[in-house]
Chains A and B, each alone.
Chain A
Amino acid sequence: MLNQLAALGRIGIGTLQQLGRGHLLLLHILSGVPALFGRPRLLLNQIFAVGVLSLLIVAISGTFVGMVLGLQGYYILSQFGAEQTLGVMVAASLVRELGPVVTALLFAGRAGSALTAEIGLMKATEQLSGLEMMAVNPVKRILTPRFLAGFISMPLLAAIFSALGVIGGYFVGVGLLGVDDGAFWSQMQAKIDLHEDVFNGVIKSLVFGLVCTWIALFQGYSALPTSEGVSRATTRTVVHSSFAVLGLDFILTALMFGE
């Protein structure tokens, strides 16, 4: 009995230590942001690695999610003779929820795991120590640009996801199933609020971008410097990011849309 209690305590203490280290790392990363403005080149390269390389999967997923929403929504709404509200349904679910959340999950799988593996390998091959011995701060030099790139890329990726999803839903709903073109857009524009829906979606994806990139960098930076350690850290990145995104989404939704 006492052993179980001790085990629980150990887990609790370990988690708190992890969290503490994570926050210290975040502060350290953020302290490097001002210096980055002098070297936009570093940021540019990372936006390429984090954003541009995730673009394809995000674009394809967005289009298909929108098309499926159009199809499913039509079948259900047409039973009530309300298929003109298809646009609202597609756009609301994309802009409010699916855009930020699914993009963040894809981001964790595509960019997050790659970031962890890259940082972990740099650690395992002593590149980070090497930088330190060259009097270069590896956190500010390597981690900060990647962090900022993730933070900037995520809302853009989520916007692309949602926009392509709406177009995909339009293509299926209006193009294939014959929902009225004007009703699709007019209902959508009437019900979707710029502030309430679009801005809140952007805020969500900013939060997700911060959390996903942070987790990926922290896992890479604290990975054991062996191939096994790096592969485990990569898995942890995807799992932790997914949990964090889904949990935070619930909290953010409750805060934003609850009265």
Chain B
Amino acid sequence: MMHNRTTEILVGAFMAVGFVALFFLSMQVSNLSSSASGEGYLVDARFDNIGSLKVRAPVTMAGVRVGRVSEISFDAKTFEAVVKLRIEDRYRDAIPDDTFAKIFTAGLLGEQYVGLDAGGSATYLADGSQISLTQSALVLEEIIGQFLFSKAEEGAGIE
């Protein structure tokens, strides 16, 4: 038949592209692989509650993204969440070791991310060091619960 070789090559290319697309959907789009790879150095931060923080969420300083969350695990001894932050290499020896880490929510329904507030120390965070000053995520239900509780108390006080 006509142009056997061309047909073969094109069909091969089509099938290869199709499988690459499937692979892409499996690996990149879905949750099969979520290992954050790449450059930078790792810093630990421990939180009482991380809310719905996700791996690969941004880590920001003054609103500028300086890294990503690379791993989240639970420490069964201290009952704390251990969050590994991967900070980009260009911020090596730039973030003081008494920096304050806090979990914020972008907008009312938005994603949660880690915000860093620089401290005043002269020594800097390095690979493997730990951020000791942290503040947990605000959990909406808790806040609403506290709010209602305090209102109820106020009401009781007036009576």
Contacts and interface: CB of A to CB of B under 8 A. Distances in A.
A and B touch in the complex (CB under 8 A): yes
A69 interface: no
Interface string A188-212: 1110111001100110000000000
Nearest to A81: B107
A194 B30 contact: yes
A182 B113 CA distance: 11
Mostly, the A contact residues are helix
B10 interface: yes
Contacts of B33: 189
A182 B110 contact: no
Given A48-B10, A159-B21, A182 B58 contact: yes
Nearest to A157: B18
A44 interface: yes
A190 B7 contact: no
Nearest to A62: B21
Interface residues of A, number: 41
Contacts of A192: 29-31
Contact of B21 (A85, A156, A185): A156
Contacts of A51: 11, 14-15, 18
A100 to B, nearest CB: 12
A194 B32 contact: yes
Contact of A190 (B18, B26, B54): B54
Interface string A169-186: 000000000001011011
Chain B, interface size category, equals 35 or more
A163 B24 contact: yes
A180 B32 CA distance: 21
Interface string B1-38: 10000011011011101111110111011111110000
Contact of A189 (B19, B29, B109, B113): B29
7 contacts: A47-B15, A52-B14, A156-B15, A160-B17, A183-B106, A186-B68, A190-B31
Interface of B: 1, 7-8, 10-11, 13-15, 17-22, 24-26, 28-34, 54-58, 65, 68, 106-111, 113
Interface of A: 44-45, 47-48, 51-52, 55, 80-85, 91, 95, 153, 155-157, 159-160, 162-164, 166, 180, 182-183, 185-190, 192-194, 197-198, 201-202
Given A51-B18, A81-B109, A84-B110, 9 more contacts: A84-B111, A85-B109, A159-B18, A164-B21, A186-B68, A190-B54, A193-B30, A194-B26, A198-B30
